[in-house]
Structure 1
């Protein structure tokens, strides 16, 4: 699918994000958590570097979830029947989401909890 206009690229990308948001419960949870973090962060008076770290952390989790969704869809399309390698691909993609979510919890602990003590 060749795009002649850069705006079509944005349209397709946004369409993918919307699809993932509508169909993936965990992505909704990640967006909800991100919204909560962004709503309370002004009360903590974070530095620019800390805000940048929060931004990268939130983005990492959401990007991992989007990749996980894409991998699951491709694996389901290719592997019509159960295959151990298909399971491994899905498990590894889910593992990436888990690692990024754990990282987000660690970052949140150091940025938020340390300021509340």
Structure 2
């Protein structure tokens, strides 16, 4: 029975990722960026520690994007009408994605700019 529960939980998680992929343009852009960065990493033959940094920030950005989407969905469900508190919550969640994305960009510059020039 325990294995069945884990499988169901895993299935729910995959369904959540599929839902974000279908409904969120920004998530799809993050996935495209991820693929381009991985291709660049292969092309420039980056070091193991650089791969660790790349995949850490990729995970950070994708995770914050999914959490941001979940927060937006919760707010839309609980408070469908426009409300200043709902806007504040959504803006803060979106801000977390911006910070994660800037962090990823800085890590990308540190790793790839010296290899390009």
TM-score bracket, normalised by the shorter chain, equals over 0.9
Q: Measure, in 1, the Cα distance between the counterparts of 2:55 and 2:41.
A: 11
Report what 2:20 is aligned to: 20
Calculate the TM-score normalised by the size of structure 2: 0.94
Q: Measure, in 2, the Cα distance between the counterparts of 1:25 and 1:80.
A: 21
Name the SS for the 1:46 alignment partner: coil
Q: Give the length in aligned residue pairs.
A: 115
Q: Measure, in 2, the Cα distance between the counterparts of 1:80 and 1:57.
A: 32
Per-residue Cα deviation, 1:81-107 (whole angstroms, up to 9, x for no partner): 111110000000000000111111111
Q: Measure, in 1, the Cα distance between the counterparts of 2:68 and 2:54.
A: 21
Per-residue Cα deviation, 1:43-63 (whole angstroms, up to 9, x for no partner): 212111110000001010000
Which residues of structure 1 form unaligned runs of 5+? none
Calculate the TM-score normalised by the size of structure 1: 0.94
Quick check: 1:80 aligned with 2:80? Answer: yes
Q: Point out 4+ residue stretches in structure 1 off by more than 6 angstroms.
A: none
Q: Measure, in 2, the Cα distance between the counterparts of 1:39 and 1:29.
A: 15
Report what 1:6 is aligned to: 6
Task: Tell me by how many angstroms 1:4 deviates.
Answer: 5.2
Name the SS for the 2:82 alignment partner: coil
Report what 1:54 is aligned to: 54
Task: Tell me by how many angstroms 1:80 deviates.
Answer: 2.4
- The root-mean-square deviation of aligned C-alpha atoms, in Å, is 1.2
